[in-house]
Structure 1
């Protein structure tokens, strides 16, 4: 079971990393082309600013989701690691459950936002793209982030308390860096 969860997690990580690179590159190139067009040719691309904004927002949300895979989000590990092993494990699970609940709520609210925008039929000003398509990134990334936190909770539950206490964020980051998940 653990191997299957990790395999799915690796695939999601590869998708997130690929999308982050594509979105960031596209936004940067588009912004650059628009600046050149504006200052060299005295004619800007009307929709470039709006699309660049959406691309960076999408990249950020996919990056936030990926951050849960590599444990890059803020945490208070030093304080938790100072607790006795079993209490350390319980507090770690509790904190991850709180994050999981929060992400589930964000995913649910994201779905509601997409439904609302679909029903209203609103479109973006310059691109004329329906807002429900633009906002679809919210439930997608919150669902993938929820999955990642779920996998971490399963991993914590399956890890003995004494082992969990020894594991530090630095050790986890070094391991992810060796695996090529972060650079």
Structure 2
């Protein structure tokens, strides 16, 4: 079966994520998770790590500055690597027997996955998983979403305690990135055959 131009373009849209600062590795995490390629998944985490460490060590400029420099370099490398990986992926998809879903099925899938966009909004990044956990049979996603919201709540309520707020917001920033990755992973999980 030959793939259409539309199918080739839609299977390459993940490359655009590489051009978004601070999220450049998430495209690799997505594509590695979707096609069960641990190398691409680990590569995406590796591209995100310097920026996350730079944000976590922000009060210490001697540590955070090199992390942001490494993060900028990782961003540039991820842009080049995304085109290389996409070329390999397109070649593999052309040679494989993977049947692409129809446009109607893709639109339904996109509408059902809009909750993932909430994970990109700071302060509300856990609410998407809370929603998914309430509507799906897997209730651990509900608890996971609450866990991602707790540091934000502690940071906001800890007005008079600067150390508590600092630690809470540091954890919230870390959980922010983790919740984005987890939301993408949950959204791309295949539907169970039975319930």
Which is greater in Rg? 1
Q: Where is the helix percentage greater, Structure 1 or Structure 2?
A: 1
